[in-house]
Amino acid sequence: MGIESLSKFLKIAKKIDSLIEKSKKFNIESKDLRLKSGDGLLEYSLIAIPQTASNTKGKISFSDIDLHRISIMSYPGFSENQESISRIEGDLTKSFSLDVEKLRTIKCKIDSIVKDLVRRDHQIDSADDEENTYWLHAQIRKLKDLKDALRKVDLLDIPFAVNVAVHQDIKTKFPTRRRRELELIAKWAHEHDRNKKQLISMEHLKLKRKRPKEKEITNVLRDLQNLFIPFRFKSYIEVLKDFNYYDCQRGADFYDKIPFRTFPKWMAVISRTDLTIEKPVSKGELVYKKGLFQESIEKALTKK
Amino acid sequence: MPIKSTFFPKEALQGQDLPSHVTWSDLKFDSIQIHHSTTMKLEELYNVSSEDFEISEGIVKINRVQVKGYVGLVFSTKILPEMSVHQLIEFNFIQNNKVIEKIEFNVHLFRPNIVIHKVPDQIVVNLTSGAITDKILVRNLGKGTAYIELETIKESELQKKRPEFFERFLHDFFEGIKLSMASLKQSFEGQSGLIERIESFLTTPFKFEKKALDELNNLEKDFQVAIEDDEEFAEALNESLAEVFLRSNEVSNLYQFVLDYVNSIGKEKILIRDPFNVVKLSNKPAKLRVKIRSIDLLKQMCTDIELPEVTVIANKESEIPIFKLFQWGK
């Protein structure tokens, strides 16, 4: 099959099918695959109808299969029927008895399944200085294999982390005199000579006297920091079309020896999308409202 | 309209893979012919079996798809001599030798382009007033972001070094990293391999060199997967790094780091990797020989630039951040 995890999963699914078929108590009517990327679970559901005139008492053991969880839904009504599941001691659920239910859901956990099933791409750098949009694209790699093996495939909440560049915005708005002020404070802190320290303090005072009503630098830094709190930064992000906004956080900056923990250069924005056999592709855009963010920086720098 | 959805990126960094797709319904055709620039190469083709397509110079011909209504492709691109090009891609659905559906895309492929615009014979530094006359002018004429690393070569009399406060900070920071990563490993056993790699990366010297950049690329990819899949881990990692950073710092250094943050960002999308590095000047003229290394956001190395010799003259003995001898962008 060429996709390691899918192949592993399909082998498991085949084994489950074969165990149910061998019991000669049920006919498998349909098989569904559903991936919930958020918790990394692959859910395999199959509908098995009792064979007429067959005794549905007894157990089917799944002891050789590494399953995360098994749940049984009774039909009609779709209520979960946990009492008909028996666990093998010290392990996850590995066997259960089949009574009169008709719908059975089996959840198997397989790592890195999204990577193998779905090709994900997004824009890395943006050429436009004024407005930043980042394209997002997802597509199923082996559509036919999935379609042949399963009646239904839902790949849900496929995550995309995009690094949105914010560095130029702070730099553009940060005034030279504020930079000079930071320079003086840092110089003062590193200076050990008392006389030199005093001279630096005088220079700082002189600088402050020129703009007595200007906002305190500590408050400026605090208000700038607040802009990067996820629930505030998300207002500068819009995720369009087939994708939905999920979360954002400070982006890691591994290029710098010390990831600057003062302000981030990037915000990692996480969006999500769904793929199915019927809709094997997703396209979308992440819009970074640069102008609006720059206005907020301006406010953080000046508004008391 | 039989064509339901189409996609090709409008813009991308040179060297980035370009995904594409077309979906349709109720469309009968003999083949799909895709015409593309010869600087691109078909990297992956989805929903087409290996015997059902042909590749020739600049053309991909698909004779049949596996599941009706969808074809997906990925093209690879490479760094081009031009820093900015627009390329046309055409998808033609052919029936009886006639084009029955035509879809055109235009992609802007760009990259950073770091050039040295001016190198003065001498730079005069007034350490009392802070005035520096005739700086070296470095520009990024391209549209892509460039990360810059400044190296003083061994023939240079002035050698870059870390300032004393930073050495102290690094010592505490590395110690803090080791401790916090150990505790993170206990809480997130499944991520222990990644945590170890992050720890090693943060505590080992790193230069813009191919091997190190490849490793960084892999680390970033795995880190990306981890933050996408496990937000709790991402938050915990972020918090531990921030905590170590704050613990390793005297409060006064925070202003220095804000300053370094601002200083590390030049105009024209130039990012300077280590703005805190200094050279020690004295009142005796000294020769400065610098090499500029740069990478783009795909961590592809741009050509190294070795600058001609510059004499630096100062009015007294002191340290100065090396980046200040440069003007970054116009």
pTM (2 decimals)?
0.82
Q: Using a CB-CB distance cutoff of 8 angstroms, which residues of chain A are in contact with residue B241?
A: 259, 261
Output the pLDDT for position A131.
74
Which A residues, 13 through 42, put their C-beta within 8 Å of a C-beta on chain B? 37, 40
Tell which wins on pLDDT, A214 or B131: B131
**Domain count for chain A:** 3
CA distance, residue B226 to nearest chain A CA (Å): 10
pLDDT of res. A45: 74
pLDDT at A41: 63
Do B232 and B119 belong together in one domain?
A: yes
Q: Write the CATH number for B87.
A: 2.60.40.740
Higher pLDDT, A97 or A132: A132
Model pLDDT, residue A253: 67
Tell whether A258 lies on the interface with B, counting CB pairs under 8 A.
Answer: yes
Q: Tell me, what amino acid is at B213?
A: L
- In 3D space, the residue among B81, B132, B179 whose CA is nearest the CA of residue B281 turns out to be B132
Contact A119 B231 (CB under 8 A): no
Provide CB contacts within 8 A for A272, sequence distance 6+.
A37, A38, A157, A158, A159, A160, A243, A244, A246
Provide the residue type at B141 as one letter: L
Q: Give the span between the Cα atoms of B2 and B4, in whole angstroms.
A: 6
- Same domain assignment for residues B74 and B159: no
| Interface touch B261/A263, C-beta < 8 Å | yes
Q: How confident is the model at residue A301 (pLDDT cuts 50, 70, 90)?
A: confident
**Domain co-membership, B79 together with B131:** no
Q: Nearest-CA residue of chain B relative to A264?
A: B261
A231 shares a domain with A162 = yes
Please tell me the predicted confidence (pLDDT) of residue A74: 55
Residue A106: per-residue pLDDT: 53
CB contacts of B258 in chain A (<8 Å) are 182, 221, 262-263
Q: Show the domain range for B37.
A: 3-110
Would an 8 Å CB–CB cutoff place A53 in contact with chain B?
no
* B81 or A51, higher pLDDT: B81
Q: Phi, psi at residue A25, to the nearest 5°?
A: -110, -20
**Looking at the 3D structure of chain B, how many domains does it have?**
2
CB contacts, 8 Å: B21 with chain A: 137, 139, 281, 283
How many Cα atoms within 13 Å fall on the side-chain side of residue A274? 10
State how far residue A220 is from chain B, nearest Cα, in angstroms: 11
Q: Considering B110, B143, B158, which residue would you say is the last residue of a domain? A: B110
Provide DSSP, B233-296. HHHHHHHHHHHHHHHTS-HHHHHHHHHHHHHTB-STTEEES-TT-EEEE-SS-EEE-EEEEEE-
Q: What's the burial of B62, exposed, middle or buried (CB within 10 Å: 0-12/13-18/19+)?
A: buried
Highest mean pLDDT among A144-153, A248-257, B61-70, B121-130: B61-70
Q: pLDDT tier at A162 (50, 70, 90 boundaries)?
A: very high
Residue A99 has pLDDT above 60, yes or no: no
Residue B46: CA count within 13 A, CB half-sphere: 28
Whole-number pLDDT of residue A98: 41
Using CB atoms, which residue from A249, A254, A277 is nearest to B201? A254
> Which one has a higher pLDDT value, B161 or A259?
B161
How close is the nearest chain B Cα to the Cα of A124, in Å? 7
B272 CB neighbours in chain A (<8 A) are none
Question: How far A242 CA lies from chain B's nearest CA (Å)?
Answer: 12
Q: Smallest Cβ distance to A281: which of B21, B225, B273?
A: B21
Q: Do B10 and A171 touch (CB under 8 A)?
A: no
Residue B93 is predicted with a pLDDT of 96
Please name the member of A139, A142, A168 whose beta carbon is closest to the beta carbon of B265: A168
Chain A residues whose beta carbon lies within 8 Å of the beta carbon of residue B220: 252, 254
Same domain membership, residue B73 and residue B42: yes
> Looking at the structure, do residues B69 and B104 belong to the same domain, yes or no?
yes
Q: Do A283 and B66 touch (CB under 8 A)?
A: no
Q: What is the mean pLDDT of residues A254-279?
A: 79
Q: Is the pLDDT confidence value at A287 over 90? A: yes
Q: Point out the domain boundary residue: B110, B142, B167.
A: B110
In this structure, the answer to whether residues A127 and A237 fall within a common structural domain is yes
Give the Å distances, CA to CA, from B100 to A146, A227, B27, B28, B46: 30, 52, 9, 9, 22
Among chain B residues, CA nearest to A158: B228
Check whether residue A142 and residue A255 sit in a common domain: yes
A91 backbone dihedrals φ, ψ, rounded to 5°? -140, 175
CA dist list (Å): A124 to A29, A237, B145: 45, 16, 10
Decide if A267 touches B, using CB distance below 8 A.
Answer: no
Name the DSSP class of A252: P
At residue A6, the pLDDT reads 66
- Backbone φ and ψ of B177, nearest 5°: -60, -45
**Percent of chain A at pLDDT exceeding 70:** 68
Closest residue, chain B, to A271 (C-alpha): B228
Q: Could you tell me which residue, B323 or A258, shows the higher pLDDT?
A: B323
Residues A87 and A160 in one domain: no
Q: Are residues B130 and B21 in the same domain?
A: no
R_g of chain B, CA atoms, integer Å: 26
Q: Are residues A237 and A105 in the same domain?
A: no
Closest residue in A to B238 (Cα) is A250
A289 and A140 fall within a common domain: yes
Which range (A71-75, A191-195, B156-160) has the least confidence? A71-75
Q: Give A188's contacts in chain B (Cβ within 8 Å).
A: 252
Hey, what amino acid is at A79? S
CA distance A195 to A188: 11
Running along chain B, 330 residues long, what does each successive block of 10 average in pLDDT?
93 97 94 96 95 95 95 96 96 95 97 94 88 92 93 94 81 84 84 85 77 81 76 80 72 75 87 88 93 93 92 91 90
Do A152 and A237 belong to one domain?
Answer: yes
ipTM: 0.86
Tell me the per-residue pLDDT of B66-110, one tens digit each, with 9 for 90 and over: 999 999 999 999 999 999 999 999 999 999 999 999 999 999 999
d(CA B228, CA A51): 44
A281 or B130, which is more confident: A281
Calpha distance B249→B252 (Å, rounded): 8
Higher pLDDT, A36 or B195: B195
Q: Give A-chain residues touching B143 at CB under 8 angstroms.
A: 127
A21 with A76, same domain: the answer is yes
Mean pLDDT of the A39-68 span: 65
Q: Are residues B202 and B259 in the same domain?
A: yes
Which among B89, B110, B131 is the end of a domain? B110
Answer yes or no: do A92 and A154 share one domain. no
- My answer on whether B147 and B225 are in the same domain is yes
What pLDDT sits at residue B195? 87
The partner residue sitting opposite A143, judged by closest CB among B10, B46, B264, is: B46
Do residues A66 and A15 both lie within one domain?
A: yes
Q: Are residues B133 and B264 both part of a single domain? A: yes
In this structure, the answer to whether residues A178 and A272 fall within a common structural domain is no
Residues B311 and B246 grouped into a single domain: yes
State whether A273 and A145 are in the same domain.
yes
Looking at the fold, whether B56 and B155 belong to one and the same domain comes out as no
Report CB contact under 8 Å: A249, B66: no
Average pLDDT, chain A: 76
Give the domain extent around A38: 4-109
Interface of A with B in 204-243 (CB under 8 A): 217, 221
pLDDT at A71: 64
| A202 interfaces chain B, CB cutoff of 8 Å | no
DSSP A211: S
Shortest Cα–Cα distance, A264 to chain B (Å): 9
Q: Does A126 touch chain B (CB under 8 A)?
A: yes
Do both B125 and B220 map to the same domain?
yes
Give me the residue from A123, A171, A262 closest to B254, CB to CB. Answer: A262
pLDDT of residue A95: 41
